[in-house]
Amino acid sequence: MIILLSPAKTFAKTITPFESSPIFQSDALSMIAKLSKMSASNLSQKMHISKDLSLKVKSDYMTFNQIISSAIYFYDGYAFKGFAIHSLNEKNLLYLQDHLYMLSGLYGLVRPFDGISAYRLEIKDQIIKNLYAFWKPKLMEYLSSTHPNELFINLASQEYSKVLHHFLPVLTISFYERSNDQLKAISMHVKMMRGKMANYLIINEINDKEQIKQIAIDDYHYDPHQSSKFEYIFIKEIHQ
């Protein structure tokens, strides 16, 4: 099984040594060359971000590759807090590098110990090109040839899931809370659970879909009635 996660928009302040370069590094550098020529005001307008944030984004583009850190330690969003990289032992870390990818608007695919720089470029951003159209065939070719007999466990957001080709064997795992017979997906909780599920799959080296159904994390349980063969739904019951 190969696990897929979304990237984060925030990065840790600590720099960790890396072991490899991203698979599509040359494509990332080509995009950075174009992005770094754009003004902060233009970035603000096209990315729909504040002026202050656009100045930070512009600075990251201009200093790209000056600071490089291991991706799994550098990404710092809720999913990565849930993943809790420091809970993994040496055996887990060896398994991790070959069984997890982060999807990225800039890098395409990022392995855990690839060296990356701070950046902001969401997969939905079309500042320089349609990133879905650009990355979908590249990711399809790489993933299908590198992992020809693997099932891909999709723990990415809907936004990033769109870059996965429908020919890939993908099982999506989703998280909901049920209160008063209504299902709700609370963004922060969902992101944390994606990371926690990825952590569990890695530490326990899960390689069977049936094993996934038995997992219970933070009171989230597999719901056979809401699930399908393409999507496993985990639900937490909220009692008022």
Tell me what pLDDT residue 20 has: 94
Q: Which pLDDT does position 47 carry in this prediction?
A: 92
pLDDT for 75 equals 97
> 181 pLDDT exceeds 90?
no
Can you tell me the distance from the alpha carbon of 81 to that of 62, in angstroms, rounded to the nearest whole number?
A: 28
Q: What is the mean pLDDT of residues 199-208?
A: 97
Cα 48 to its chain centre, rounded Å, is 21
| Cβ neighbours of residue 102 closer than 8 Å, sequence gap 6 or more | 4, 5, 6, 7, 71, 75, 109, 110, 111, 112
Asked if residue 240 has pLDDT above 90, the reply is no
What pLDDT score does 151 carry? 95
What phi and psi values does residue 178 have, to the nearest 5 degrees? -115, 125
Q: Which residues contact 221 (CB under 8 A, 6 or more apart)?
A: 234, 235, 236
**What is the per-residue pLDDT for 205?**
97
Q: For the segment 65-119, what is each residue's pLDDT rounded down to a tens digit?
A: 899 999 999 999 999 999 999 999 999 999 999 999 999 999 999 999 999 999 9
Please tell me the predicted confidence (pLDDT) of residue 180. Answer: 87
Strand spans (E) along 23-169: 69-70, 100-104, 108-110, 115-116, 152-155
pLDDT in tens, 153-169: 999 999 999 999 888 99
Q: Which pTM does this prediction carry? A: 0.95
Read off φ and ψ for residue 177, nearest 5 degrees.
Answer: -115, 140
User: Is the pLDDT at 140 greater than 90, yes or no?
Assistant: yes
